[in-house]
Amino acid sequence: MKIRRFGNSLFTRLVLFGIGIVISTAILRFYFLRDFLETEQSAVVARQQSIIASYLAQDIGYRTEERRHFLERLATQVPPGLLNDPAALREWLREHQELQPLFAQGLFFANTDGVIVVDYPTMNGRRAISLTSYPDYTRVLDGATVIGDPLLSPASARPILPMMAPVRNAEGRISGILGGTTELNATGFLDHLQRAQLGPSGGFMLISPSRRLIIASSNPASVFNSLPPTGTDLLLDRALTGFRGNGVGRDQHGVDEIKAFASVPGTDWIVVACLPLAAAVPTAAHMRELITRGAMMQGGVIFVIIVLAYLWFFRRLRRAADLADKMTRGEIPLSPLPVVRRDEVGHLTMAFNGLLARLKMHQSELQHQAHHDVLTGLPNRIMLAERMQQALARAGRENTGIALLYLDLDGFKPINDTLGHQAGDLVLKEIAQRLRQVARHSDTLARVGGDEFVLLATDLGQPLENGTRALAEKCIKAVSEPLRLAHGDRQLGVSIGIAVCDGRCDADALLQAADKAMYHAKAQGRGRYVIAANGIGCGHSSIVAGATTEAAPQPHHPLPGSPLPGGTSPGSGLSPGH
């Protein structure tokens, strides 16, 4: 029972409703903010990577161009007389290399046949290298300064970048080639790129699109490795065909990465900045944790607020419900509930009070209908019985008497039959009104049948018959007054049976005696009254009397079967009074 009540409780539904709102909003925030944060932060990171990649590309281009310009200028400054003096030429190379060591592996001079004749510093095996095997050799002989493709040095087996510039004699003809090599990871060249990291797991690459080769990288193990086959990394494939910018692509290992591409000025190289997507949006994951934690905290706060609100705002409603429940169980009488404030609860309480007032009114009407005649509004048999019991009890306590007058109208049936029930109802209402005027305030006038009335008179003094005679005569006179109806004036009479008692008798017996006396009065010509004789349980002797509204008083006679004074008994009829 308690579980069912808890499940039906408004408090339970409010709490579940609040928790449902918190959970649903948290889920919506989780998914919407997650997508928003990932998209926005990915775009921000991609723009940052593009800036960094562009900076690195510009820096690498500057360092490369610096070496090219240095080599070109140095080539124009070679004294023609040194071209045939290897020792002097080597000394000249030493002076310039030590003065500005832009080429980590030094400088060399080769003749037009591609044979290196002098170098500084001297490297084992370098002089044995023939430049004719390199495709850039012929371009230098044509007068161009060439930045060669990165390669593994035959002398040191390390990745190097060669550069060559033509040397001209006094006549302006190319008489030799001045070259320089530097290791890619040499200090002041690409060492910063190989040391650079982009986040905890990102990095940079310098690639040669024409050779699909990684020239330099933050990951030393990938240097001079070939790029993945075409179709493996679609975003990288686009970059190799000219795309510059940023985007999200999947690498050869299936990891989503944010990549930015920038061209190195003066070369066909591309700087690539790579960062795994998961590492690029750590804030989004942190935000998801914050959303989840915030939803839990919000749920707890809402739960507390709902509990406090329920206790505060519904306390009057709970009190009203408790009072109404007690009224329903009969523990307290029906009464209006207190209205503290005219809010929704107050409106509900006022509505309940209105319903309660209507219920009490309806109950009063039902009670009135149960104890009163619908047509005349007089008490019916039920209320008459209650009043008789009360009157007998009071008469026994106070040593007084009561009288019961049973009245039956004479001549009512012809009016009802000829003029209709509507006229009959008007006659009964008029007669009831006249009899009310006759009855005292302490008396009870009741309608017990179609045209039968009972008048209960209380607080009578001895002898009881004296007061009842006067009351009966007033009733006969009141009824006999002409009735003014729509069809003309009519006149009724009334036959009255009277039974008196001093409180030591039975109510049913008293009513039966009055009823029987009424029939005897009607049998004697109507318009009369008859007082029932002794024999109904009363503690005194009663007499029988008759009366009319037209004749003078006559001697009294008892009902048939009742003893007469002198020991005689009458026949079936009664001597009429007046």
In 454-471, which positions are buried (b, 16+ CB within 10 angstroms) versus exposed (e)? bbbbbebeeebbebbbeb
For 545, residues 6+ apart whose C-beta sits below 8 A from its C-beta are: 465, 469, 529, 530, 531, 553, 556, 577
**CA 179, CA 400: separation in Å to the nearest integer?**
153
**CA 481, CA 430: separation in Å to the nearest integer?**
11
> Peptide bond preceding 121: is omega within 30 degrees of 0, i.e. cis?
yes
Domain boundaries, the chain: 77-183, 315-370, 372-531
What pLDDT shows up at residue 538? 42
Q: Closest by alpha carbon to 378, among 435, 427, 421?
A: 435
3-state secondary structure of 106: coil
One-character DSSP codes across 213-275: EEEEESSGGGTTPBPPPTTTSHHHHHHHTT--EEEEEE-TTS-EEEEEEEEPTTSS-EEEEEE
Q: CA distances (Å), 12 to each of 166, 470, 562, in order? A: 92, 75, 81
Q: If phi over 0 gives left and psi between -120 and 50 gives alpha, with beta otherwise, what is residue 158? A: beta
**CA 521, CA 499: separation in Å to the nearest integer?**
13
Q: Cβ atoms within 10 A of the Cβ of 323, count?
A: 18
Cβ atoms of 252 and 237 within 8 Å: the answer is no
**CA 309, CA 304: separation in Å to the nearest integer?**
8
3-state secondary structure of 124: coil
DSSP state of 70: H
Both tokens of residue 469? 């005679």
**CA 71, CA 63: separation in Å to the nearest integer?**
12
For 442, residues 6+ apart whose C-beta sits below 8 A from its C-beta are: 458, 459
Q: Strands 452-460, 483-485: parallel, antiparallel or unpaired by DSSP?
A: unpaired
Q: Closest by alpha carbon to 322, among 338, 308, 310?
A: 338
What pLDDT shows up at residue 573? 31
Averaged pLDDT in 10-residue chunks for the chain of 578 residues: 60 74 74 67 81 90 92 91 88 92 91 90 82 86 90 81 91 91 86 76 88 87 88 89 88 84 91 83 66 75 78 76 82 80 74 80 79 90 92 88 93 88 91 93 91 91 82 94 87 94 88 94 89 57 40 34 30 30
**CA 415, CA 488: separation in Å to the nearest integer?**
11
Q: If phi over 0 gives left and psi between -120 and 50 gives alpha, with beta otherwise, what is residue 535? A: left
Q: Name the CATH superfamily housing domain 77-183.
A: PAS domain (3.30.450.20)
Rounded to the nearest 10 degrees, the angle between the axes of helix 10-76 and helix 282-313 is: 160
**Sign for the pseudo-dihedral over CA of 280, 282, 285, 287:** negative
**CA 303, CA 496: separation in Å to the nearest integer?**
80
Q: Closest by alpha carbon to 480, among 558, 547, 566, 571?
A: 547
Q: If phi over 0 gives left and psi between -120 and 50 gives alpha, with beta otherwise, what is residue 224? A: left
Both tokens of residue 345? 């609860």
What pLDDT shows up at residue 385? 93
Cβ atoms of 522 and 410 within 8 Å: the answer is yes
Q: Strands 488-490, 483-485: parallel, antiparallel or unpaired by DSSP?
A: antiparallel
What pLDDT shows up at residue 335? 80
**Sign for the pseudo-dihedral over CA of 560, 561, 566, 570:** positive
Is CATH 3.30.1330.30 the right assignment for the domain spanning 372-531?
no
Both tokens of residue 414? 């012809």
Q: What dihedral do alpha carbons 24, 29, 32, 36 form, nearest 10°?
A: 180
Distance of CA 287 to the CA centre of its chain: 26
One-character DSSP codes across 401-435: EEEEEEEEEESHHHHHHHH-HHHHHHHHHHHHHHH
One-character DSSP codes across 309-325: HHHHHTHHHHHHHHHHH
**Sign for the pseudo-dihedral over CA of 317, 318, 321, 327:** negative
What are the residue ranges of helices labelled H in 314-380? 315-329, 344-371
**Model pTM?**
0.49
**CA 85, CA 207: separation in Å to the nearest integer?**
40
